[in-house]
Structure 1
Amino acid sequence: MRIGILTGGGDVPGLNACIRSVVLSADDLGWEVMGFRRGWEGVMRIDPGDPASIAANSLVLDRNNVRGIDRMGGTMLHTSRTDPRTQKDGDETPHVLDVLERLGVDAMVTLGGDGTLRFSAHLSAQGVPVISVPKTMDNDVFGTDYCIGFSTAVSRSVEAINALRTTIESHERIGIIELFGRRSGETALLAGFLAQVDRTVIAEVPADLDVLLPLLAEDKASNPDHYAMCVISEGAKIAGDNGGEGDIAKSAIDRADGSVGQRLGREVTARTGSGVVVQELAYLMRAGEPDAMDRMVGFAFGGLAVQLLGRGEGGRMVTLTDGNYGHVPIDTLLHGRKSVDVSALYDRASYRARLMRVEGMPMFLY
């Protein structure tokens, strides 16, 4: 049996651990693994009759060339944000199917976020055995409590927030720290709680500056060190502010009116007179080696993916639910949207996490 594997969307720490786990688990069964470079883009670039295009866009994975990759961040296969259905020349699904058939790929394991896994579900519907593995530091894939990359992103964020306190305190300013999270505020919510910042603004609740700014001013005034800290999701909205509307899908440098953190910082200075430090953590959140949690989940998800294929169970997405590994139909993510349960986990009046009632809750508190 020959398994194809690829990574799509944004890179996160823990992907290489999962790739290694798939390769070792498959090798134990005597199976081959073919890695496709740059996600679905690599598959589309292959001409099955051209050995050079195959070599440029894929590689055979074995125990030797995945040795030690679990300690590294990013993805050894590289990545792209490509959906074969939305290409300039039309839907490239037939070409993808032809490539897989002519290369002798019997099943696919795909590691990705919402976009990558949506095409995985589509490919499964065409009859290809596919196991999808959810990864995103936003933790916003519907159908699983946990995605590879989330723990490391939160850990990186907490470390950076606490490090920034030294500068923000020294200059007696209000710190605005913007974290990735376009549709879901889970990363900001948990990082803000663990770093014990004064206020956290999440993507699900628009910020009313008439409420938020007086709170931050009071936080600063009541702090003996004369500073305050605020975390904000990149996808957060400011009530009454149309700046950045429609730009959230673009990279930060392409947004017409700057990031939401920058816009909030300008308002803080204009309305309160306080100096600000605005810091977008951005790609630092997904940089570097994975923490212990993401290594563990990466290894476990990879092993489970191969076990499912070994049982002839394609068309599944591996999951973590209530602390237990499992799997659901691969199209589960199409039927809902994962975001913060605001009523249970967030106090919208004070812009703070509400995470202290923990009995019976899973480890990550959502």
Structure 2
Amino acid sequence: VGIPKTMDNDVPGTDYCIGFSTCITRTIQLTNSLRTSAGSHERFMVLEVFGRYAGFTAMLPTMAGAANRCVIPEHKFNIERLTELLSADRKRNPSHYSTVLVSEGAMFEGGEMVFEKEAADAFGHKKLGGIGDLVSEELTHISPKYNNGKKIEVINQKLGYLVRCGDPDAIDSIVPMAYGNLALDLILGKIHGRLVVLKNGRYDNMPIDTVTSTKKVVNIKEHYSTERLRPHYASFEMRPLFIMTSEMG
């Protein structure tokens, strides 16, 4: 019997994985806290967040207003376009700053994932990291083109483990309790090979091989504007709590 737990919220079959809400809450809080520095220095702010294959942890905070733009693993982005957008955002902002959230798995147009280390973990995954640094360098380099020849400096911060430490938020206090009880009920009922899930606002379970039968990523066509490099949504009516996390791309 399995319980879905990952901040990236990319386990297929469930709308929700333990840790996701706290990650989103922390990201919004930390981004808002850094605004004063970005505004006082009138800079771009680049924040690298978790998200190896799925960009939910960058999408939701951006949708909530924490950032102007986000770049995610599901779409290889054009750095020139990102610089243009952030420069325009900064110009419109009375405090003269703009913010982009960068998923650790995000890739430049024509590029591949950036790894911090070549060594792989027990699951064969190399440690991602460094895309935020590269984005920051390129933004500074290209910015004069969109700022009357003047370079725009960057505040570059990797949020990393700051978003996965401390106490869980309300949702991450309630859901794990429910998941644990659901899993125990299945075990006591001698029912195996199941994954406890939260689907369409209700607790349930499904075959555990759902986890490996497909991938759960951001549906670009439905939820991400590749032109504006930010979440896209036409209507919230009858949508699930976290909007785009109930679909498998």
| TM-score of the two chains, using structure 1 as the length reference | 0.61
Whether the 8 Å CA contact 1:169–1:225 is kept in 2: the answer is yes
Asked if 1:264 corresponds to 2:140, the answer is no
Equivalent residue for 1:334, pick from 189, 212, 216 = 212
Letter in 2 for 1:234: E
The 1:238/1:145 distance shift into structure 2, 3 A limit, reads same
The 1:302/1:183 distance shift into structure 2, 3 A limit, reads same
State the alpha-carbon separation in 2 of the partners of residues 356 and 296 from structure 1.
30
- Percent identity of the aligned residues? 39
Whether the 8 Å CA contact 1:141–1:147 is kept in 2: the answer is yes
Letter in 2 for 1:363: L
Letter in 2 for 1:289: D
Equivalent residue for 1:173, pick from 43, 47, 62 = 43
Asked if 1:187 corresponds to 2:78, the answer is no
Q: Secondary structure at the match of 1:251?
A: strand
Greater mean alpha carbon deviation, residues 159-168 or residues 350-359: 350-359
Greater mean alpha carbon deviation, residues 263-272 or residues 308-317: 308-317
State the alpha-carbon separation in 1 of the partners of residues 190 and 88 from structure 2.
60
Per the alignment, residue 220 of structure 1 pairs with 90
TM-aligned CA deviation for residue 315 of structure 1: 1.1
Q: Point out the structure with max Rg over C-alpha.
A: 1
Q: Secondary structure at the match of 1:229?
A: strand
State the alpha-carbon separation in 1 of the partners of residues 3 and 66 from structure 2.
32
Q: What aligned pairs does 1:139-150 form with structure 2 within 5 A after superposition?
A: 139-150=9-20
Per the alignment, residue 121 of structure 2 pairs with none
Asked if 1:319 corresponds to 2:197, the answer is yes
Q: What aligned pairs does 1:1-366 form with structure 2 within 5 A after superposition?
A: 131-241=1-111, 244=114, 249-251=125-127, 259-272=130-143, 273-355=151-233, 357-366=235-244
Structure 1 residues 62-97: Cα deviation after superposition (integer angstroms, max 9, x where no partner): xxxxxxxxxxxxxxxxxxxxxxxxxxxxxxxxxxxx
TM-aligned CA deviation for residue 245 of structure 1: 6.4
Whether the 8 Å CA contact 1:178–1:282 is kept in 2: the answer is yes
Letter in 1 for 2:126: K
Per the alignment, residue 27 of structure 1 pairs with none
State the alpha-carbon separation in 1 of the partners of residues 103 and 117 from structure 2.
14
| TM-score of the two chains, using structure 2 as the length reference | 0.88
State the alpha-carbon separation in 1 of the partners of residues 220 and 71 from structure 2.
12
Whether the 8 Å CA contact 1:145–1:319 is kept in 2: the answer is yes
- Structure 2 portions without partners, runs of 5+: 119-124, 144-150, 245-249
Q: Secondary structure at the match of 1:139?
A: coil
Whether the 8 Å CA contact 1:162–1:195 is kept in 2: the answer is no
- Structure 1 portions without partners, runs of 5+: 1-130, 253-257
Letter in 2 for 1:354: H
Q: Secondary structure at the match of 1:133?
A: coil
State the alpha-carbon separation in 2 of the partners of residues 242 and 187 from structure 1.
20
Letter in 2 for 1:251: K
Aligned Cα root-mean-square deviation (Å): 1.7
TM-aligned CA deviation for residue 364 of structure 1: 0.8
Whether the 8 Å CA contact 1:158–1:191 is kept in 2: the answer is yes
Paired positions, count? 231
Whether the 8 Å CA contact 2:27–2:163 is kept in 1: the answer is yes
TM-aligned CA deviation for residue 224 of structure 1: 1.6
Per the alignment, residue 21 of structure 1 pairs with none
